[in-house]
Amino acid sequence: MTKLPASKTGAMPGRCAAVSTEKRVVRKRSKGVPRGAFVNHQAAIDFLDSRVNIERVRPDKVKNEVWKLDRMQALLAELGNPHDGLEIVHIAGSKGKGSVCNMLECTLEACGYTTGVFTSPHLVDVRERVRIGSVPIEEPLFDRALELCRDAAFVVESEHGMATYFELLTALSLVVFAQQAVDLVVLETGIGGKLDCTNVVSPRVCGLTRIHLEHTQILGDTLAAIAAQKAGIIKPGAVTISTPQHDDVACVFQEHAKAAGSPLKFLGDDVLYTCRFQSGVSRGPHARVCVGDDEDGFEHMSVPLLGMHQADNCALALAIILELRNLGFDLPERMVTAGLEQINCQGRLERIFDKPPIYIDGAHTPESIYETLKATGAHLNYDSLIVIFGCTSDKNVKAMLRQLDRGADKILFTQATNNPRSVNPDELLCQFRDEIGGKAMAESKKCVHDALKDAARAVTGNDLILLLGSFYIAGEAKALIEERRSQR
Last residue of some domain: 302, 318, 341? 341
Whether pLDDT at 1 is above 70? no
How confident is residue 179, by pLDDT bands cut at 50, 70 and 90?
A: very high
pLDDT (average), residues 457-471: 95
Strand pairing category for 298-302 and 284-291: antiparallel
**Cα torsion angle, 336, 342, 346, 347, sign:** positive
450: left (phi over 0), alpha (psi -120 to 50) or beta: alpha
The domain that holds 384 is classified in CATH as: 3.90.190.20
How confident is residue 418, by pLDDT bands cut at 50, 70 and 90?
A: confident
Burial bucket for residue 33 (CB in 10 Å: 0-12, 13-18, 19+):
middle
pLDDT value of residue 194:
95
Q: Which of 9, 33, 96 is closest to 362 using CA atoms?
A: 96
Q: Are residues 333 and 358 in the same domain?
A: no
413 domain residue, yes or no: yes
pLDDT 10s digits, 208-262: 999 998 887 888 989 999 999 999 999 999 999 999 999 999 999 999 999 999 9
Last residue of some domain: 314, 341, 368? 341
Q: How many domains does the chain have?
A: 2
Q: Which of 263, 260, 261, 286 is closest to 275 using CA atoms?
A: 286
1 domain residue, yes or no: no
pLDDT (average), residues 123-136: 96
239 within 8 A of 127, measured Cβ to Cβ: no
How confident is residue 11, by pLDDT bands cut at 50, 70 and 90?
A: very low
Q: Which of 265, 465, 182, 434 is closest to 351 using CA atoms?
A: 465
Distance (Å, rounded) from C-alpha 214 to C-alpha 234?
20
Q: Are residues 165 and 291 in the same domain?
A: yes
Q: Are residues 255 and 135 in the same domain?
A: yes
How confident is residue 33, by pLDDT bands cut at 50, 70 and 90?
A: low
Poorest-pLDDT segment among 10-24, 338-352, 364-378, 459-473: 10-24
Q: Which residues on adjacent β-strands are paired with residue 64?
A: none
Q: Are residues 355 and 313 in the same domain?
A: no
pLDDT (average), residues 72-99: 97
Q: Are residues 334 and 373 in the same domain?
A: no
pLDDT value of residue 185:
98
User: Which spans in 238-355 are helix H?
Assistant: 247-260, 309-326, 333-341
How confident is residue 34, by pLDDT bands cut at 50, 70 and 90?
A: low
422 domain residue, yes or no: yes
pLDDT 10s digits, 255-277: 999 999 999 999 999 999 999 99
pLDDT (average), residues 29-42: 72
Q: Are residues 322 and 470 in the same domain?
A: no
**Residue 468: enclosing H or E segment and its boundaries?**
strand 464-468
How confident is residue 394, by pLDDT bands cut at 50, 70 and 90?
A: confident
The domain that holds 77 is classified in CATH as: 3.40.1190.10
209 within 8 A of 316, measured Cβ to Cβ: yes
Q: Are residues 334 and 211 in the same domain?
A: yes
Question: What are phi and psi for residue 219, nearest 5 degrees?
Answer: -95, -15
Q: Which residues on adjacent β-strands are paired with residue 284?
A: 280
Q: Are residues 35 and 95 in the same domain?
A: yes
44 domain residue, yes or no: yes
pLDDT value of residue 28:
45
Q: Which residues on adjacent β-strands are paired with residue 291?
A: 273, 298
**Residue 223: enclosing H or E segment and its boundaries?**
helix 223-230
The residues near 130 (Cβ < 8 Å, ≥ 6 apart) are 116, 117, 118, 136, 137, 142, 169, 172, 173, 176
467 domain residue, yes or no: yes
Question: 0.85 exceeded by the pTM?
Answer: yes
Distance (Å, rounded) from C-alpha 129 to C-alpha 254?
31
Strand pairing category for 464-468 and 358-360: parallel
Whether pLDDT at 484 is above 90? no
Q: Are residues 234 and 217 in the same domain?
A: yes
Peptide bond into 356 cis (omega under 30): yes
Range of the domain at 424: 350-486
Q: Are residues 318 and 393 in the same domain?
A: no
Poorest-pLDDT segment among 66-70, 296-300, 350-354, 404-408: 66-70
pLDDT 10s digits, 98-119: 999 999 999 999 999 999 999 9
371 domain residue, yes or no: yes
Using DSSP, state whether 480 is helix, strand or coil.
helix
Whether pLDDT at 379 is above 90? yes
Last residue of some domain: 315, 341, 367? 341
Q: Are residues 85 and 12 in the same domain?
A: yes
Strand pairing category for 284-291 and 264-266: unpaired
Angle (CA) 147 148 153, round 5°: 95
251 domain residue, yes or no: yes
Whether pLDDT at 488 is above 90? no
Q: In what order do the strands lie in the sheet with 410-413?
A: 350-353, 358-360, 464-468, 385-389, 410-413, 441-444
pLDDT value of residue 5:
34
CA distances from 166 to 25, 72, 137, 291, 449 (A): 20, 10, 17, 34, 28
321 domain residue, yes or no: yes
| End-to-end CA gap in the chain | 50
Q: Which amino acid is it at 167?
A: E
How confident is residue 20, by pLDDT bands cut at 50, 70 and 90?
A: very low
Q: Are residues 119 and 240 in the same domain?
A: yes
Distance (Å, rounded) from C-alpha 479 to C-alpha 403?
27
Rounded percentage of the chain residues whose pLDDT exceeds 90: 81
Using DSSP, state whether 95 is helix, strand or coil.
coil
Using DSSP, state whether 31 is helix, strand or coil.
coil
Question: What are phi and psi for residue 358, nearest 5 degrees?
Answer: -125, 125
Q: How many CA atoms lie within 13 A of 351 on its CB side?
A: 11
